[in-house]
């Protein structure tokens, strides 16, 4: 039997039976049939529904619908899919106070061959995505804070992350900022007076100081910082499944292809800043960060105060500027996406007085 699935036709009844046995289902469970139903194709690869039937009543509690996720054809997609498979493998070693990710029944990969697969639970009957472009409801924000606190606390200061995720350093940061700066020069010329003088000056000053800001905060020597963790790095509405019955289920975080080692507030900033106008974000921010801290403490995190979170969050807010500028250069990203994100990012940097952290 294949170790790594490369097309839906390889998911046979016998193969899936073995996978479910390894996951913990009873030995007498026997899959009778697997029907592959092609579904939507997300940005990083095809997603196929697997309809599963069983031979007898021993299947009580066994999944009748699963999702097979395979990488797309590009080298970038294949590489990112291997990262996600590694994340899911290591997630299975962690104990969470709630279920913050979809159940994963199988995660295999080969970085050498650029192949991988995920077999995930199908959440579509119990969960929905947040209704983008509408911003999340406050109850949804609370649930996302809870789920991310569970994930971040589970991986907090865990050196095992080094085995399979990129460690940001000063060389990577210099290259990234240099690329973003080049993109911004093109963007500024394109936007003209759509960006006011104050905003242009703030963007340029932020980009000029960004590398030193990250060095001063220890972000380029992350393993020596107390509180480094697994960062999702793409935490927007489409990657968040919210339960239809919040009292009976939890938010699940999808799509871990861009994960890296960082600070948990990177994810919080990535979630809040693009989703809300500056006015609404100012109203929700404090509540969200306090909720995040409360859940971190429930998960056993100590010596991390609300002031610490705010300091980390202010630095993390600069990610929105880099992400939105880079997105503006991507022909696949609509102006209706990156333009409000850019405006929101500028507003956050201004509101949070990030410039007071600059060297000059």
In the DSSP assignment, the letter for residue 3 is S
Q: How far apart are CA 351 and CA 279, in angstroms?
A: 10
CB-based contacts of 13, cutoff 8 Å, min separation 6? 30, 31, 32, 33, 34
Q: Residue 45: its pLDDT value, please?
A: 52
| pTM, two decimal places | 0.93
Q: How many CA atoms lie within 13 A of 321 on its CB side?
A: 28
Q: Residue 134: its pLDDT value, please?
A: 86
CATH 3.40.640.10 fits 127-357, yes or no: no
8 Å CB contact between 130 and 140:
yes
Residue appearing with tokens 């010329």: 189
Per residue in 137-173, pLDDT tens?
999 999 999 999 999 999 999 999 998 888 888 888 8
CA angle 342, 259, 21 (to 5 degrees): 140
Q: Which residues in the chain land under pLDDT 50?
A: 41-44
Per domain, the residue ranges of the chain are 8-121, 127-357
Chain centroid to CA 21: 29
Q: How far apart are CA 13 and CA 235, in angstroms?
A: 35
**Architecture of the domain delimited by 8-121:** 2-Layer Sandwich (3.30)
Closest by CA to 344, choosing from 359, 313, 323, is 323
């Amino acid at each position: 039997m294949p170790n790594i699935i490369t097309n839906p036709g390889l998911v046979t009844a016998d193969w899936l039976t073995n996978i479910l046995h390894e996951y913990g289902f009873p030995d007498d469970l026997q899959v009778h049939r697997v029907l592959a139903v092609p579904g939507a194709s997300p940005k990083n690869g095809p997603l196929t529904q697997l309809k599963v039937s069983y031979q007898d009543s021993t299947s009580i509690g066994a999944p009748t619908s699963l999702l097979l996720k395979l990488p797309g054809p590009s080298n970038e997609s294949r590489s990112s899919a291997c990262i996600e498979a590694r994340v899911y493998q290591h997630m299975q070693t962690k104990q969470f106070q709630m279920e913050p990710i979809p159940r994963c029944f199988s995660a295999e990969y080969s970085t050498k061959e650029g192949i991988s697969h995920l077999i995930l639970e199908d959440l579509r009957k119990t969960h929905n995505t947040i209704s983008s472009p509408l911003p999340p409801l406050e109850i949804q924000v609370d649930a996302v804070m809870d789920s991310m606190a569970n994930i971040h606390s589970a991986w907090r200061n865990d050196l095992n992350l080094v085995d399979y995720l990129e460690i940001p350093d000063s060389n990577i940061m210099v290259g990234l900022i240099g690329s973003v700066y080049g993109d911004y020069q093109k963007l500024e010329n394109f936007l003209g007076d759509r960006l006011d003088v104050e905003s242009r000056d703030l963007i340029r000053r932020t980009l000029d100081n960004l590398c030193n800001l990250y060095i001063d905060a220890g972000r380029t020597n992350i393993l020596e910082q107390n509180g480094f963790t697994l960062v999702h790095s793409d935490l927007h509405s489409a990657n968040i499944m919210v339960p239809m019955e919040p009292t009976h289920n939890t938010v699940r975080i999808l799509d871990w292809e861009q994960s890296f080692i960082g600070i948990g507030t990177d994810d919080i900033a990535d979630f809040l800043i693009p989703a809300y106008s500056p006015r609404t974000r100012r109203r929700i921010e404090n509540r969200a960060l306090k909720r995040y801290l409360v859940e971190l403490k429930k998960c056993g995190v100590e010596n991390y105060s609300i002031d610490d979170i705010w300091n980390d969050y202010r630095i993390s807010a600069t990610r929105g500027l880099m992400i939105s500028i880079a997105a503006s250069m991507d022909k696949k990203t609509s102006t209706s996406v990156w333009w409000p994100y850019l405006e929101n990012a500028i507003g956050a940097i201004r509101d949070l007085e990030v410039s007071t952290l600059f060297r000059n």
